[in-house]
Structure 1
Amino acid sequence: MDDKDEDLGAFDPNIPEEGPSAPPPGWLDDVHGYQGHKGGEDDNPLYPPPPAYNPQPELNRNTLVPNVRVPTVSEDVARDALLKFVESKWRYSSKPARNLTFKELKPITVYRYRLETYTETRTSAWQFEPYNGQVVDGPQYGVSPPPWDIPVSLPQRYTDMVEKVRVPHSSFVKLCHKCNGCGRTRCNNCHGRGQKRCTFCHGHGRSRNKRCTSCHGRGRKRISPPPSPRCTSCHGHGYKTCSVCHGSQNLLHFIQLTVTWKNDVADFIPDRQPDFPDKKFEKVTGDPFFIDESVLVYPIQGFPDHEICDVSTKMINEHLNRFGSTSRILQQRQTIELVPLTHAYYTYNGKDYSFFVYGMENKVFAAKYPSACTIL
């Protein structure tokens, strides 16, 4: 007997097979200003229009650099910082930190340049939800406004945030693409039969010339009492409620605008201390003695450390090229910080050692420490 000839349960041809979970290409129409949305779920970038005015950096402006005094660390502060560092290392003994003798506390000038570019990016994509009689804000109420004309409330400046907005007048109702408006889809597990062939005897009722103990010989034939095993996926119904429209048969489609505010930060510290890892600076703060803020900032000029000037020019150009076409630049801010760094030299038990105290938080980096505690 051919497996395809005799099926289990009542087959309902009116219940369709499952369609795609997303609307297929061509299922949705274009909306003016939001072209390119052919039913895909991915967000489409919406490039901002050119601004009404073209902001220009201030030209011929030299940075006025105040007199900056390199902060010094006293022996008491350096010792306390080392003791806190030792407490965080369970293998270290605090005895060397308490009894060491300082030889020199050498302050080091460290500048950190930081550029912040605060941008707004807008993307859009078709979304849908089951239609259960809710209000439909469709084209009958007007034309959808251009994506960059839709008003949104600005967050606090330099704060990352995402807001999703339903585009006005972009909604309409359409039959569910997954179930073709039936509200149900055929069970893929039993192919709409409600029952499954026995997997042990393959529907023959016998295995190895013996009555199948799994289906008790019922196999796949219609007999009474109960026929072949009920499908556990659809509980014997042969169909499932549509997972997209949840049985409502219709979907409300609309364009969702995603507005993303992001503060992109770039830092730079000249690498001039071979014994100190620069990555340590990422977790500490400095003293921002120079702050420049505008819609677009101009590269720093006239600063004594020429490497800072060069990096300022490079980073500003990189940010303009990266964000200028795909996002709207709302504000830029550049700062120069003086990050405290002191190299502490000391002796203990006749040997020379050293450690660094860095950041406004007085963190400690010690590549080598005199002794570890002895576990008895």
Structure 2
Amino acid sequence: MAAPPAASSYGPSAPPANMFDTVPGYEGTVAGGGGGYLPPPMPTVPMPVPEQAPSPPDWHIPSISEERAREAFATYVSSKCCYSSGPVKDGVITNMESFNTYRYRLETFMESRSTEWSQEPFAGQPVDAGVQPAPGPWQIAAQAPAFFQDHKQTIRVPYTSSVKNCHLCLGMGRNPCNACTGAGNKVCWVCNGSGFRQSNDRCTHCNGRGRENCSSCSGNGSCQCDTCHGKRQLIVFINLNVKWSTEKDDFVAQDLSGLRVENLEKVSGKELFKDAQYMVYPVMGFPDFSVAQASERLVRDHQVKYAQTSRILQQRQTIELIPITKVSYMWKGKSHVYYVYGNEFQVNADDYPATCCCSVM
């Protein structure tokens, strides 16, 4: 009553390697990508001539006012559901100390390219493989976005498209049904294959056969091939994947304020220096030697790390002065500290003395 089950289930599988032609310049291309980014051609633009960084006359930001410090503290405490406002109302500020911290940032905007064999059902699309040599991966024009805006683009490589029989259905357009393993019918779910109900009555669902037609394939035993959509043939071609991305590294000069560096990640400062060009040169003549050292190290690291697999399009380096004010205050006879930092006047008060445990009943 039933056909034997198929030897194996059918499903998506990787195309065989011999399905793809050899295209000069694309020998390492595989289906599904994974071949890594392609090294770019040597840059044609010479390295910029190093220039001395200008030194502004005053790179110091004075401490904020006591009134501004209290206002920032009050806003911070009001955002905490378990913080009492007592220290804000009754605390007495005893000292305010300014710590100004430099943050150096290097951004490298670059273009990376990789290739992969792709396929789609053949429905009369143009076939151009062998008409003329395919252009190299870095010879194909791509529309780059504005500098420092990440973006991706996929481009079909000209003169790589050819038609092949579908590897999954062997050019038949159909595959054995997975649901019934090609039999066209399955065990009846009502009588579990016996042909009878519990009352020994003949099963009306399968008419006593014990099996029912497979609903997935309508009893045919085969389904349209998911890979070629029944077209029997595939057009295979090489896709060029272009990626524009920005890599960023920061260096924060150490200070003696006691505020953790992680707190500064989401705040901004006063921009003291900005330089953007094809490839920047390390900052020279900056008063804080650690910033100059970091600039030299990061510029070198970016060139070594990214120029091998990507084309650097633009670099940008900035130096910010992040204001930090350490506020000491007395409350109930004890000394406490909080920090106000960044242009946003963020507050950090790890030892806030008036907290309570809240619970929702």
TM range (shorter): 0.7 to 0.9
1:24 aligns with 2:7: no
Residue from 98, 105, 117 that aligns with 2:108 = 117
1:315 aligns with 2:298: yes
Spell out the pairing of 1:5-20 with structure 2 (5 A cutoff). 8-9=2-3, 18=10, 20=12
1:131 aligns with 2:122: yes
| Residue 189 of structure 1: how far off its partner (Å) | 3.8
Give distance in 1, aligned partners of 2:245 and 2:47. 22
Give distance in 2, aligned partners of 1:147 and 1:232. 47
| Residue 45 of structure 1: how far off its partner (Å) | 2.2
Residue from 317, 321, 327 that aligns with 2:310 = 327
The answer to which of 28-37 and 74-83 deviates more is 28-37
Give distance in 2, aligned partners of 1:216 and 1:131. 52
Residue from 67, 72, 81 that aligns with 1:76 = 67
| Residue 225 of structure 1: how far off its partner (Å) | 5.3
Q: Deviations over 1:249-307 (max 9, x none)?
A: 22122211111111100001123347311111111111111112221112222222111
Give distance in 2, aligned partners of 1:366 and 1:251. 64
AA of the residue aligned to 1:87: S
Give distance in 2, aligned partners of 1:137 and 1:42. 25
> Equivalent residue of 2:96, what SS?
strand
- 1:365 aligns to what? 348
1:34 aligns with 2:26: yes
Q: How many residues align?
A: 356
8 A contact 2:188–2:210 mirrored in 1: no
> Equivalent residue of 1:23, what SS?
coil
8 A contact 2:105–2:319 mirrored in 1: yes
In percent, how many aligned pairs have the same letter? 37
Q: Which runs of 5+ in 2 are unaligned?
A: none
| Residue 81 of structure 1: how far off its partner (Å) | 0.8
| Residue 355 of structure 1: how far off its partner (Å) | 0.4
AA of the residue aligned to 1:122: R
Does the C-alpha gap of structure 1 residues 267 and 193 become closer, same or farther in structure 2, counting only changes over 3 Å?
same
- 1:161 aligns to what? 151
| Residue 231 of structure 1: how far off its partner (Å) | 3.6
8 A contact 1:37–1:44 mirrored in 2: no
Does the C-alpha gap of structure 1 residues 17 and 69 become closer, same or farther in structure 2, counting only changes over 3 Å?
closer
1:105 aligns with 2:96: yes
8 A contact 1:130–1:248 mirrored in 2: yes
Give distance in 2, aligned partners of 1:123 and 1:152. 13
AA of the residue aligned to 2:2: L
8 A contact 2:37–2:310 mirrored in 1: no
| Residue 56 of structure 1: how far off its partner (Å) | 2.0
TM (normalized to structure 2)? 0.88
- 2:168 aligns to what? 178
Does the C-alpha gap of structure 1 residues 68 and 139 become closer, same or farther in structure 2, counting only changes over 3 Å?
same
> Equivalent residue of 2:17, what SS?
coil
| Residue 148 of structure 1: how far off its partner (Å) | 0.9
| Residue 18 of structure 1: how far off its partner (Å) | 3.2
Give distance in 2, aligned partners of 1:176 and 1:88. 62
1:239 aligns with 2:235: no
1:62 aligns with 2:52: yes
Give distance in 1, aligned partners of 2:231 and 2:262. 56
Does the C-alpha gap of structure 1 residues 112 and 336 become closer, same or farther in structure 2, counting only changes over 3 Å?
same
| Residue 130 of structure 1: how far off its partner (Å) | 1.6
The answer to which of 292-301 and 193-202 deviates more is 193-202
8 A contact 1:114–1:336 mirrored in 2: yes
- 2:42 aligns to what? 50
> Equivalent residue of 1:84, what SS?
helix
- 2:180 aligns to what? 190
- 1:275 aligns to what? 258
8 A contact 2:10–2:175 mirrored in 1: yes
